[in-house]
């Protein structure tokens, strides 16, 4: 049985079926990310004064990731253009670049997540707060039993609010050293994971969902790159349309990042 309108445009919609399908899917994606962006706005405007974090994310890494995704959008377009002029070799080269750029993006994102997960805020028994990256925990460290010590590379502050704006002159001037804290002096110890506060919760949700989209898109692009040769030989026009559809999805994912980057990294 032949599937209709995989190459020819459907008379009533004016486009081929796969393109209509991907646009309907992208419309649902707009609602998904739109809902999460709305959640971000509500959480932010609802935060207590001085309690919304600034400067918690690495702008340089975010910029590099933006550059990687922008380049991958270009290579996706060029791969489609190569299919249009029936140059399969160029298609392979451009889509190999897309895959490599996407994997580099995910590698950097993983590094950023790891950096947050080894970053701890410790509420001390004396009312102060220690904040920094984990260096080591002693072998006998057990917070529940109050045994052992933990070492951070960071600093101690009087008020938790001092940890919120890392772009402030005070935060910039703070001296970071290795601090060893006994478990008996710890009231609460928590890393900068999703449950740390509403900012980290929405940060991990938005970027995690986005990273899953990148991963899914990469799998699809890799499939076309590795196994597309057979369809290219029998039906190049249909294959070209598939590349366009995957390119539309990829552009959507890149577009989401263009909004995520300034919202999360620069504000």
Partner 1 sequence: MSLKAFHLIFVTLLTALSFGCAAWAFQSGSVLWGATGIAAGIFVIVYGIYFLKKLKNVSYL
Kindly list the residues in this chain that would bind partner 1 in the complex (CB under 8 A).
Answer: 14-15, 19, 23, 63, 66, 70, 73-74, 76-77, 80-81, 84, 167, 244, 247-248, 251-252, 254-255, 258, 261-262, 266
Pairing of strands 186-191, 177-182: unpaired
Taking the least distance from each CB to partner 1, the nearer of 9 and 110 is 9
Q: Which is nearer to partner 1, 62 or 154 (CB)?
A: 62
Question: How far apart (Å, rounded) are the C-alpha atoms in residues 234 and 239?
Answer: 9
**Cα separations (Å) of 182 from 45, 117, 124, 125, 143?**
38, 21, 10, 10, 9
| Helix/strand number for the chain, H first, E second | 7, 5
Which two tokens mark 96? 């190999």
Q: CB under 8 Å to 40, separation ≥6 — which residues?
A: 202, 206, 263
The minimum distance between CB 14 and partner 1, in angstroms, equals 6
**Which of these, 253, 244, 251, lies nearest to 18 by C-alpha position?**
244
Q: Which is nearer to partner 1, 120 or 265 (CB)?
A: 265
Q: Provide, rounded to whole angstroms, the least separation between the CB of residue 71 and partner 1.
A: 11
- Residue 69: name the closest of 254, 249, 214, 261 by CA: 254
Structure-block tokens of residue 15: 């486009």
CB nearer partner 1, residue 42 or residue 258: 258
Q: How far is the CB of 33 from partner 1 (least distance, A)?
A: 14
Question: 14 or 46: whose CB is closer to partner 1?
Answer: 14
If the CB atoms of residues 90 and 251 are measured against partner 1, the closer one turns out to be: 251
- Taking the complex as a whole, the smallest distance from the CB of residue 81 to partner 1 amounts, in Å, to 6
Smallest distance, partner 1 to C-beta of residue 220, A: 15
Q: How far is the CB of 244 from partner 1 (least distance, A)?
A: 5
Tokens representing 192?
């900068």
Angle, alpha carbons 111-158-142 (nearest 5°): 60
Distance CA 12, CA 18 (A): 14
Q: Give least dist CB 113 to partner 1, A.
A: 23
């Amino acid at each position: 049985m032949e599937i209709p309108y995989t190459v020819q445009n459907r008379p009533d919609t004016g486009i081929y079926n796969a393109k209509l399908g991907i646009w309907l899917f992208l419309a649902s994606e707009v609602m998904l990310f739109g809902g999460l962006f709305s959640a971000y706005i509500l959480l932010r405007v609802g935060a207590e004064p001085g309690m919304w974090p600034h400067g918690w994310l690495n702008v340089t890494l975010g910029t590099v990731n933006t550059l990687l995704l922008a380049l991958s959008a270009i290579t996706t377009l060029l791969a489609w253009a190569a299919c249009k002029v029936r140059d399969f070799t160029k298609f392979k080269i451009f889509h190999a670049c897309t895959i490599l750029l996407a994997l580099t993006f995910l590698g950097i994102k993983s590094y950023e997540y790891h950096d947050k997960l080894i970053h701890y805020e410790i509420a001390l028994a004396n009312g102060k707060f220690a904040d920094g990256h984990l260096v080591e925990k002693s072998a006998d460290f057990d917070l529940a039993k109050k045994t052992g010590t933990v070492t951070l590379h960071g600093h101690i502050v009087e008020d938790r609010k001092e940890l919120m704006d890392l772009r402030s002159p005070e935060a910039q001037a703070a001296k970071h050293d290795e601090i060893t804290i006994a478990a008996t002096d710890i009231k609460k110890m928590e890393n900068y994971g999703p449950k740390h506060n509403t900012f980290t919760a929405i940060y991990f949700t938005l970027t995690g969902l986005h990273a899953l989209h990148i991963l899914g898109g990469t799998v699809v692009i890799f499939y076309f790159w590795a196994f597309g040769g057979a369809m290219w030989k029998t039906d190049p026009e249909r294959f070209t349309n598939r590349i366009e559809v995957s390119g539309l999805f990829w552009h959507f994912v890149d577009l989401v990042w263009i909004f995520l980057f300034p919202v999360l990294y620069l504000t």
